[in-house]
Amino acid sequence: MSKILNQGTLSKTKVSLLSTAIAVAIGGFGAAANAAGPTLSDADFEKSKTIYFQHCAGCHGTLRKGATGKSLEPKGNPAKNQKGTLELGQERLEKIIKFGTEGGMNNFSEILTDAEIKAMATYIQMEPPIPPEMSLAQMKANTKVYVDPKDYPTKPLHGRNWKNFFVVIERDVGKVAVVDGDKKEIIAHIPTGYAVHVIKALEHSNAAHPENPDDVGRFWYTQGRDGKMTKIDLWQTPDKMLVAETKVAYDARDVAVSGDGKYIIGGGYWPPHFVIVDAKTMDPLKVVSTRGVNIDGEYVNESRVAAIYDTPNEKSWLVALKELGQMWQVDYTDLDNLRIDKMDTAKFLHDGFFDPTGRYFQIAANASNKMVVVDTKERKKEALIDVDKLPHPGPGANWMDPKCGPVGGTTHLGVGKVTVWGNDPAGHKDAAWKVCYEVETDGPGLFIRTHPKSKYFWADQTKHPEPGVQQAVQVIDKETRQIVKTITVTNVPGQAAVHMEFNADGTEVWVSAWNMKDSKKDNGEIVVYDANTLEEKTRIKGFFAPTGKFNVTNRSEHVT
């Protein structure tokens, strides 16, 4: 079903509270609509609908037509030789949900109860509910300002080194924690949207500059799975860091800030569109549909927005259209006459990162087993790199290899491997956009991370089904290309090690110990390691299911 970062269970109370909102988000038909086939009680139908939204829609789609995961349509797709869920049947579906598959779907035996698994197997044999659209007027009605921009402070009010703050996703409680990276203290738990997927800041840009350069790294914007977008001001006192919010979709993933600091862009999974928002007031300004014809010449109704990034050297955003297999470069200098350059690439686009120059964007096309490279200067596809099963670099990593020169790398969801390729066409033409080498790891993972001052890069193994592997990360020497240490981050049942992030000066690596099974308690922690000796330094406790974490300096200055 979902990738591991979309896992985690909610308390029964939280599921109940979410059900009404998710029912609106994913629509319409009740159990009675399928009376001729498999049926569920109204209560089980609504609960299964909520579970599908939380765990399955990310990979299989709101309409169940498939993407990174297979189609879950009841009648299948004979033209693509895809069996329907009705043909697979109740017993087979229950086994798949419970035990997972070798194709990369994780098991849900420790996440869902047997009764929930049984109901889910029935639910996906029924016709999917049709979700509603969302208008600009609805978005504006959901916009709230908690601190007027004219009242923003002109200097930090807390006396801390905010440029070494970490903002940490507390996934299933719908919060972001702000952590003092110097003192290793949690400063605030800020309410956001449910299951925040990405947090982005105003970044340093070579193409466009904000009115106040001090704003770089100061304001952070979250995008929740429920479509809620929030604005956080790190200069405020903890009780006032949440300054505004809006809602741009029912299901969403990514957000980015224009280089001049004027606009935010948020991308929807459903409805399939992107929305341009005023960065100061969080007032939605423009909605652009992403439905269209994919690279195979087929019309796609559910064309979801995956990654969105500001382009460091151009006044534009990159918008990845997962199902279309297209990268759109959206110029933000004239919203009334919006210029969009559409580049055919590969399916199904997910997440990526820029090369060190900021010119080339490297993004995973999961189901195609490729890394896509686009040239933001020429606004065209630069290259397709064949890699292994289901690449997933997250925010990625660049470093210098002794033979290939500048390189980038990715982990994979479907195999225990790191693939490394050259990414310097100007200085190392022969190695550019070709696989340089591969490193076999103990298990499939989600993230790879490094720092220019570190001699290592780190890879997690969160997708491996065995706890002993899932709870460890591996450290690889950039020069020798060898795994130098496997670090067991946690041995707490139900916890996994996920997502690495360096501190501002590159001397520490922070890793999340994420409790996937019971995220309602403050039982997660972040483990801090010395980036040189690889020894544990401390553990920061008091988190609710910490997953991704983002250092202010590294993210705002494009440090990978």
On the question of pLDDT at 18 being above 90, the answer is no
Residue 139 neighbours by CB distance under 10 Å: 23
**Whole-number pLDDT of residue 10:** 36
Give the confidence band of 12 by pLDDT, cuts at 50, 70, 90: very low
Strand-by-strand arrangement of the 417-422 sheet: 391-401, 405-412, 417-422, 435-440
| pLDDT tens profile 460-515 | 999 898 989 999 999 999 999 999 999 999 999 889 999 999 999 999 999 999 88
Percent of all residues in the chain with a pLDDT value above 90, rounded to a whole number: 70
Burial class (CB in 10 A: 0-12, 13-18, 19+), 180: middle
CA–CA dist 391, 369 (Å, integer): 6
The full DSSP string for 44-71 is HHHHHHHHHHHHTHHHH-TTS--SSSPP
Active-site annotation, residues: 56, 59-60, 105, 350, 392
State how far the Cα of 463 lies from the Cα of 468, in Å rounded to an integer. 12
Instruction: Choose between 12 and 267: higher pLDDT.
Output: 267
Asked if 363 contacts 351 with a C-beta cutoff of 8 angstroms, the reply is: yes
Q: What is the three-class DSSP state of 134? A: coil
Give the CA distances from residue 311 to residues 290, 326, 362, in Å, rounded to whole numbers and listed in that order. Answer: 20, 16, 12
- What would the mean pLDDT of 89-99 be, rounded to a whole number? 86
Q: How many CB atoms lie within 10 A of CB 344?
A: 12
DSSP of 301-331: S---EEEEEE-TTSSEEEEEETTTTEEEEEE
Task: Name the residue among 288, 278, 267 with its Cα closest to residue 337.
Answer: 288
Q: Which residue has tokens 């064949």?
A: 386
- For residue 207 the two structure tokens come to 């193409």
Strands (DSSP E) contained in 389-515 are 391-401, 405-412, 417-422, 435-440, 448-450, 456-460, 472-477, 483-488, 495-502, 508-515
Q: Is the Cα dihedral 497, 499, 500, 503 positive or negative?
A: negative
The pLDDT tens digits of the residues spanning 153-202 come to: 999 999 999 999 999 999 888 999 999 999 999 999 999 988 898 899 99
Q: How far is residue 308's CA from residue 364's CA, in Å, rounded to a whole number?
A: 13
Asked if residue 11 has pLDDT above 50, the reply is: no
Name the pTM for this structure. Answer: 0.85
* CA–CA separation, 364 and 347 (whole Å): 9
Q: Are 246 and 282 in contact (CB under 8 A)?
A: yes
- Burial class for 430, CB neighbours closer than 10 Å (0-12, 13-18, 19+): exposed
Ramachandran bin of 59, using left for φ above 0, alpha for ψ from -120 to 50, beta for the remaining angles:
alpha
C-alpha 355: how far from its chain's center? 19
pLDDT tens readout for residues 492-504: 988 999 999 999 9
pLDDT band at 36 (very low <50, low <70, confident <90, very high): low
Inter-residue contact 393 to 352 (CB < 8 Å): yes
Which pLDDT band holds residue 32 (cuts at 50, 70, 90)?
very low
Do 137 and 72 touch, CB atoms closer than 8 A?
no
Q: Peptide bond before 406: cis, by omega within 30 degrees of 0?
A: no
| pLDDT score of 517 | 63
Give the domains, in start order, of the chain with CATH numbers. 4-123 (1.10.760.10), 441-560 (2.130.10.10)
Chain position carrying tokens 């299951």: 195
3-state secondary structure of 235: coil
Asked if residue 107 has pLDDT above 80, the reply is no
Burial 328-338 (b: 16+ CB within 10 A, else e): bbbbbeeeeee
